[in-house]
Amino acid sequence: SNGELEWSTFLGGEKRDFANGIVLDTQGDVVVAGLTDSASFPVTSDAYDSEFGGGSSDTFITRFTTGGKLLYSTLIGDTGSDNCTSVAATPLGGVLVTGHTGSMSFPTQNAYQPELTGILDLFALRFTFSEIPVLPPGHRAFRFSGSWYATGVDDLDHDGIISPIDLLDFMSSR
């Protein structure tokens, strides 16, 4: 046999949509994260943020069952450019999402660096899927200039991020 297509779907709105990361979570569900320029990007009724921020792009996080049924979809962003570049599953059922933003109001509760300091700053956030999705208290969101190359989470729930930033200027919130 040459293989069999189990499921396939389109995901997006009327403008450009890019999937920049895909991962299987601890439930075996498929999580896709990326960026959208589309105000009509599909979100679910329980989305953390159902409104396109109005900038050039928003980050999206979308979750499908292993059979391809849409479980959850949300936008994260504001009036600037908000772009996810990487996603990793956490052992507790959520995801670690990294990217860059130009939005002054990007959500940064309990952040090491809560305010935008450049034209585009990096972000890292943890996102959990629940009946009422929220960014959990104490999630690590921080921003630096540069770009993320890779994101990962180990079995002990420690975040790992690879980026070409100046290590002398990097400060950890852990």
Rg, C-alpha atoms of the chain? 16
Q: What is the pLDDT of residue 31?
A: 94
Residue 167 pLDDT level (bands cut at 50, 70, 90): very low
What is residue 131's predicted lDDT score, i.e. its pLDDT?
45
Average pLDDT, the chain: 80
What is the mean predicted confidence (pLDDT) over 23-48? 94
pLDDT at residue 48, as a whole number = 92
Query: Would you state the pLDDT for residue 11?
Result: 97
Q: Tokens at residue 80, please?
A: 């600037």
Q: Which residue has the higher pLDDT, 60 or 132?
A: 60
Hunting for tokens 């389109």 — which residue is that? 10
Structure token pair of residue 87: 């996603």
Residue-level length of the chain: 174
Q: With pLDDT > 90 as the criterion, what percentage of the chain qualifies?
A: 44
Tokens of 2: 């040459």
Given a contact cutoff of 8 angstroms between Cβ atoms, the answer to whether 57 and 82 are in contact is yes
Is the pLDDT at 36 greater than 90? The verdict is yes
At 43 the pLDDT is 98
What does the alpha-carbon distance between residue 146 and residue 143 come to, in Å, rounded to a whole number? 9
For residues 40 and 57, give the distance between their C-alpha atoms in angstroms, rounded to a whole number.
Answer: 12
- Residue 17 confidence class, pLDDT cut points 50, 70, 90: very high
Return the pLDDT at 159: 55
Provide, rounded to the nearest whole percent, the portion of the chain with pLDDT above 70: 74
pLDDT tens digit sequence for 99-144: 889 998 888 878 888 888 888 888 888 888 864 344 444 344 443 4
